[in-house]
A and B are shown apart, each in its own frame.
Chain A
Amino acid sequence: GAVVSQHPSRVICKSGTSVKIECRSLDFQATTMFWYRQFPKKSLMLMATSNEGSKATYEQGVEKDKFLINHASLTLSTLTVTSAHPEDSSFYICSAPGTGDGYTFGSGTRLTVV
């Protein structure tokens, strides 16, 4: 089945630094990648939609200059959290449509900003 590999699984960074999260589709081409964020005991909130070769579409309230999304190839989408602050600490997950109704999710990245 369709597999999305997400790295790193967890990262701790200092305030003010940037962190890059990668999602790779291993056995299929992901023309679209969705990026979600989950706060503790809350739902998954859509942050942005990336399409290969074009600019990402951000949801209302998501700062595009803070959360940089790049989808340069059919198998790789990246999310860079720039100038991270403690309030950016969260669980970030990517997801891509596969061949069925259910989309494939990465394993998630736990970001802690100290």
Chain B
Amino acid sequence: DQQVKQNSPSLSVQEGRISILNCDYTNSMFDYFLWYKKYPAEGPTFLISISSIKDKNEDGRFTVFLNKSAKHLSLHIVPSQPGDSAVYFCAARKLGNTPLVFGKGTRLSVIA
């Protein structure tokens, strides 16, 4: 039973354009949603998070949108840069020191 789903395994975007990565979840009890960037043979790097009581959080080029009624969140990267090419994982957790539940990841390729 996959609680966090990333249905697009890959995405290609031209440099300078917007990258939109999508994520759906099934567990309405999650309190935080997070995005991580990962390179092969490395640990994930935290990018941005959003609390379940918010609908938008912005940090520089990265913005996360949360639609609780649709159980859907998205990560927008504007403008996209070649260095953004990596696998992006959506994750969710409950309050407290609880484990992260990950989606399967989306491989983003930003083409110069």
Contact = CB atoms under 8 A, between A and B. Distances in A.
A, B assembled together = yes
A contacts with B: majority SS: strand
B95 to A, nearest CB: 11
A43 B36 CA distance: 12
A67 interface: no
Query: How big is the A interface, by class?
Result: 20 to 34
Query: How big is the B interface, by class?
Result: 20 to 34
Interface stretch (A14-22, A81-89, A95-103): A95-103
A43 to B, nearest CB: 4
B100 interface: yes
Interface of B: 32, 34, 36, 41-47, 49, 51, 89, 97, 99-105
Interface of A: 4, 6, 9-10, 31-32, 34, 36, 42-46, 49, 91, 93, 95, 97, 100-108, 110
